[in-house]
Amino acid sequence: MALRVEPERPGIGPTHDGGRRHPTIAAVAMLDVTVEASGACRLMALHGLHRETAGEYALVAASERCLAGLQRSDGRLVTAGGRLDLTLLRLGALRHRHFRPGGAASWLKDLRDAHDDVIEMLDPFTAAKRETRRFAEMVAGRWSGAAVAGPRPLAQAQLAVVRTAVTYLHLLAEQRSDPTPLVTGVGALAELILERAAIAPHLAPVLESALFTALAPHPF
């Protein structure tokens, strides 16, 4: 499962305690991917919640349930700079007194061996953070601010989680010395994006990237 947490930007949202703004989570996006023993990727599902439509408590509780379910299924968590994502979720859980096993706190403390961060995998010594992030943008497109259906923070989180997944597919193919994860994963992602074209038009530019044009051509 790939995870992205979008924090609330400064100057947005309600104020408390005499105008001092408290940190909140604007949106969370998660992408479920099944990797078979052969390396083939299938069964992708994109989930997302926005604070203004669901409320931060519902957003945090749903995210914690997904993380706990991932632990129970012995799955892997994939992020890009994910310690920040997990810390934001952990702080949200603390704010709402949501104490459950298997949530963000567990992934930060006890489940590191099941957590892959693509930034750290590409650059273990964090010497080239900007270049690694540019690689993710190159293979899956940049945020263009184009047509957005629904809240913009959720759209940004969804695009970020797609970029994270595509980067991870490259790394899986590298680990296996076999392009199967990348080829099948890009194909499955293209199908998902096409299916969600009406409700997630902001993902459509991903299909125009050189990678998707080569591996998953689509009739536009």
Is the Cβ–Cβ distance between 25 and 51 less than 8 Å? yes
Give how many domains the chain has, as a whole number.
1
* Closest by CA position to 154, among listed 42, 59, 13: 59
Residue 67: DSSP 8-state: H
29-71 pLDDT, tens digit per residue, is: 999 999 999 999 987 899 888 888 878 999 999 999 999 999 9
Low-confidence winner among 62-66, 77-81, 172-176, 211-215 (lowest mean pLDDT): 211-215
144 compared with 205, residue with greater pLDDT = 205
Tell me how far apart the alpha carbons of residues 160 and 58 are, in angstroms, rounded to a whole number: 21
Check residue 18 and give its pLDDT: 46
* Confidence category of residue 15, pLDDT binned at 50, 70, 90: very low
Question: Are the CB atoms for 109 and 69 separated by under 8 Å?
Answer: no
User: Residue 204 falls within a domain, yes or no?
Assistant: yes
Distance, CA of 114 to CA of 90 (rounded, Å):
18
Chain-centroid distance of CA 76 in Å reads: 13
Residue 177 CA to its chain's centroid (Å): 25
Task: Describe the chain by its helix, strand, coil percentages, rounded to 5.
Answer: 55, 15, 30
Q: What is residue 54's DSSP assignment?
A: H
pTM of the model: 0.86
Quick: pLDDT tens for 166-194. 999 999 999 999 999 999 999 999 999 99
Specify the CATH number for the domain of residue 197: 3.30.420
Q: Which domain holds residue 69?
A: 2-215
- Residue 137: predicted pLDDT: 72
The phi, psi pair for 192, rounded to 5°, reads -65, -45
Asked, for residue 57, whether it belongs to a domain, the answer is yes
Q: In whole angstroms, what is the distance from residue 185 CA to residue 182 CA? A: 5
Using CA atoms, how far apart are residues 173 and 176, in angstroms rounded to an integer? 5
Query: 220 in a domain, yes or no?
Result: no
CA distance 175 to 191: 25
User: In 10 A of CB 142, how many CB atoms?
Assistant: 14
The pLDDT value recorded for residue 9 is 65
Angle at 9 between CA 6 and CA 10, to 5 degrees: 155
Looking at residue 219, its pLDDT comes to 52
Strands of the sheet with 115-117, listed across from one edge: 41-50, 25-35, 2-7, 77-79, 115-117
